[in-house]
Amino acid sequence: MKNYVKEGQKLPLFGIGPYLISGIGVVALAGIILAATVFSFARLEGIWVWVFRILAVLMILSGAAVWYIGALRSDMDKSITENKLRTSGIYSWVRNPMYSGWWILITGISFIWHNYMVLPFILINWIILTVVLKNTEEIWLADLYGDEYLEYKERVNRCIPWIPKRGS
């Protein structure tokens, strides 16, 4: 995929993002359709309906916020075009906030159906996200930034926003 903005730019602006997010979206949609039809027996009742719905709202809002901050408020496109590793702001809490935001948001949407059979599809999406990132962007970044990226990778989680480890 070639989506460079300026000469000398080492990484594509969008990377594998559109493909990865589309893929996990399709997996989630399959899980939702199956939960509403084939696995309707697994629909939760009582208080669990509200637990899942509250979790859904919280995850949708937090996923959208993480994506928004990582994609639109971080100036990441400038870092990419200037070949600089971004490790501050939300990137000190999570290495992939745009992917994380989408995964959290899609997970929240899956919870709306209050059916425990969506849980394996959430796990499948997590595995897809992890495997694809480890085998593409993490390799690209290690090749481009070397020890700086490897040190950053040790301090900051790949996909779950978390308080930075000491030394950040």
In a domain, 164, yes or no: no
In a domain, 10, yes or no: no
Scored b (16 or more CB within 10 A) or e, 71-96 reads beebebeebbbeeeebbeebbbbbbb
The residue among 124, 112, 104 whose CA lies nearest residue 60 is 104
The answer to whether residues 10 and 81 touch, using CB atoms and an 8 Å cutoff, is no
In a domain, 103, yes or no: yes
Question: What does the pLDDT read at residue 1?
Answer: 43
The residue among 11, 13, 16 whose CA lies nearest residue 132 is 16
Residue 84 is part of which domain span?
Answer: 18-155
In a domain, 67, yes or no: yes
Return the amino acid letter for 64. A
In a domain, 145, yes or no: yes
Question: What does the pLDDT read at residue 76?
Answer: 82
Split into its structural domains, the chain has a count of 1
In a domain, 52, yes or no: yes
In a domain, 1, yes or no: no
Question: What does the pLDDT read at residue 81?
Answer: 77
Sign of the CA dihedral with 13 first, then 99, 78, and 11 last:
negative
Mean pLDDT by 10 residues, the chain (168 residues): 54 76 96 95 96 97 96 83 88 94 97 96 96 93 93 93 73
Question: What does the pLDDT read at residue 164?
Answer: 77
In a domain, 140, yes or no: yes
